[in-house]
Amino acid sequence: MMIQFIVGFFATLSFAILFSAPKRQLIFCGLTGAAGWIVYLLLTQNDSGIALANLAATIMLTLMARIFAAIERHPVTVYLLSGIFPLVPGAGIYYTSYYFIMHDIENFTRYGSETIIIAGSIALGIVFGFALPQRMFNALPQLGHRTKK
Amino acid sequence: MATAREVLTLAVEIGDLLLRNGAEVYRVEDTVLHILEAYEIKDYDVYVLSNGIFASANEDEEDACSMIRHVPLGSVHLNRIAALNQLSREICAHECSLSDAWERLKECKNLPLAPDSVKLFFCGLGCGCFAYLFGGTVTDGLVAFFVGVVLESFLLTTGKSKSSKFIINILGSAIATTLSLLALNFGLPVLHDKVIIGSIMPLVPGIALTTSIRDLFNGDYLSGVIHLMDAVLTAFCIAVGVGTIITIYQFLPGGVLLP
């Protein structure tokens, strides 16, 4: 689990660099992605289904992105765009096209619908993550500055 | 006292730059409105799409003016968004005069991107890590690292010559698939599917998907659909690239039979 967290951290961090995120924020981008990935992993290992796992992971990472954004006074986008990558259904796209080519219609529909479900769960997760009012996050900067002193 | 025209030009220029570097519609609209307000423009209207800005100010006055910008969908530069965000914060706090703001805007425009060598390395690292995360072995990660480096060098060279995005995505995923299958053919103990999945990650439309969801959620349906279309078509192109190579591979003599 620890290894997964570290690899997830570096995976997200590398992509944050590709999107030229501000240097000081790279660590937070990495943490956002790694946290989302761990939530996803824990839930899938407990057979909670792919939709719930993606939903919970996305809510987790959206909230973390918003917290970092409030503390560091940066746009949420910086953390969210890089953090979302471990969850994006790249594997789904691959398997869907692979089974389509192989004329394996059963697996094709299975992976195809799974990909759509994942995308939908991510969408809902982001929506829920943003549903909390900004007020709750506005108190955070003081907190952050106090700890810095 | 600045004229409406000067203020509007600044506001729209900042909005343009935000949008160009991948900010969501809501943020752009909000920023432009706040800047106009900060410089005491009373009567204004702003409409932002994911590839255009329409704005007008002081309609009833002598110095009425309006502006239209076309902003093509481009690549994402998060540090520019962050810097512009900081700039607009200062403008709104009235800490920044109009001429200072122009100076700062120029700085934001020229914020350095990561050098190519750094990008190459981290693209490889990202691909390797993802191959491992999605259930590959360490060997898979290492192979994906090299595939990622090659893919990024392809993306960097094509990025400079304004080729069609579709072609780039199809060719990019085809290159990634070819290299992964080559590694399999040379007898490396790799799970080719994990390597392919890891190495197509730089192409996967995660950003378009996220931005589209946020736009839709904010009620900017048109912009949301534009990004969603972008995401779906990109995914389709990746599927075509991967699919074509796998099909060809199946018919090649000496191709290891795929499971």
Could you give the C-alpha distances from A132 to A69, A126, B24, B192, B250, in angstroms and in order? 14, 11, 19, 42, 51
Closest chain A CA to residue B176:
A94
On whether the CB atoms of residues A126 and A58 are closer than 8 A, the answer is yes
- C-alpha to C-alpha distance for B98 and B102, rounded to whole angstroms: 6
The phi and psi torsions of B252 (rounded to 5 degrees) equal -75, 135
**Minimal-distance CA residue of chain A relative to B208:** A81
Residue window 61-90, chain B: list those with CB within 8 Å of chain A.
Answer: 76-83, 85-86, 89
Q: From residue A91, how far is each of A94, A118, B24, B93 by CA, in Å?
A: 5, 11, 26, 46
Nearest CB to A130; choose among B196, B217, B238: B217
Q: Mean pLDDT across chain B, nearest whole number? A: 87
B214 confidence band (pLDDT: 50, 70, 90): confident
Tell me which residue in B24, B76, B243 faces A19 most closely, judged by beta carbons: B76
Instruction: Show Cβ contacts of residue B167 under 8 Å, excluding neighbours closer than 6 positions.
Output: none
> What pLDDT was estimated at residue A122?
92
Helix (H) or strand (E) holding A101: helix A90-101
Altogether, the residues listed in chain A come to a count of 149
Q: What number is the average pLDDT over the span B40-49?
A: 87
ipTM of the complex model: 0.86
Return the residue matching tokens 């609209």. Answer: B29
Chain B residues whose beta carbon lies within 8 Å of the beta carbon of residue A129: none
pLDDT in tens, A35-64: 999 999 999 888 888 899 999 999 999 999
Rg (CA), chain A: 17
Cα-based angle B103, A77, B162 (whole degrees, multiple of 5)? 70
The predicted pLDDT at position A146 comes to 47
Out of B78, B122, B126, the one facing A22 most closely (by C-beta) is B78
- Sequence-separated (6 or more) residues with CB below 8 Å from residue B7: B35, B36, B39, B41, B57, B98
The pLDDT tens digits of the residues spanning B226-256 come to 999 999 899 989 999 998 998 888 887 665 5
Give the model's confidence band at B58: pLDDT under 50 very low, under 70 low, under 90 confident, else very high.
confident
Report DSSP state, residue A24: G
Measured distance CA(B28)–CA(B58) in Å, rounded: 20
Chain B residues inside the 8 Å CB shell of A95: 193
Q: Which residue has the higher pLDDT, B162 or B91?
A: B91
Instruction: Report residue B221 CA to chain centroid gap.
Output: 19
What's the whole-number mean pLDDT along residues B172-200? 87
pLDDT at B53: 93
Percent of chain B with pLDDT over 70: 97
B113 pLDDT band, cuts 50/70/90, is: confident
Q: Which residues of A touch B79 (CB under 8 A)?
A: 20-23
- B235 interface with A at CB cutoff 8 Å: yes
Q: Which residue has the higher pLDDT, B9 or B186?
A: B9
At A95-114, the pLDDT tens digits run 888 888 888 899 999 999 99
pLDDT over threshold 60, residue A145 = no
Of B82, B204, B209, the CB nearest to A74: B82
Beta bridge partners of B53: B48, B69
Instruction: Give CA–CA dist B47/B19, Å, rounded.
Output: 13
Q: What is the pLDDT of residues B71-112, one digit of tens each?
A: 888 788 888 999 999 898 888 888 888 888 888 888 888 887
Q: Which two tokens stand for residue A122?
A: 């991510």
Query: Are residues A91 and B197, on separate chains, in Cβ contact within 8 Å?
Result: yes
Instruction: Please choose, from the candidates B106, B50, B116, the residue with its C-alpha nearest in 3D space to the C-alpha of residue B83.
Output: B106
In terms of Cα–Cα distance, which of A92, A68, A63 is closest to B206? A92
Beta strand segments in B35-134, E: 44-49, 52-57, 65-70
pLDDT score for A100: 85
Is the CB of B217 inside 8 Å of chain A's CB atoms?
Answer: yes
The whole-angstrom separation of Cα A98 and Cα A6 is 30
How close is the nearest chain A Cα to the Cα of B61, in Å? 35
CA distance B253 to B51: 47
Residue B204 falls in which region: left (phi positive, over 0), alpha (psi -120 to 50) or beta: beta
- What is the C-alpha to C-alpha distance for residues A61 and A65, in angstroms, rounded to an integer? 6
Q: What was the pLDDT predicted at A147? A: 47
Write out the two tokens for B115: 């050098």
Give chain B positions within 8 Å (CB) of A57.
none
SS3 B156: helix
Please give the average per-residue pLDDT across B147-167, as a whole number.
Answer: 87
Shortest alpha-carbon distance between residue A43 and chain B (Å) = 15
User: Which residues from chain B sit within 8 angstroms of residue A132, using beta carbons?
Assistant: none
pLDDT at A144: 52
The residue among B85, B64, B113, B67 whose CA lies nearest residue B14 is B85
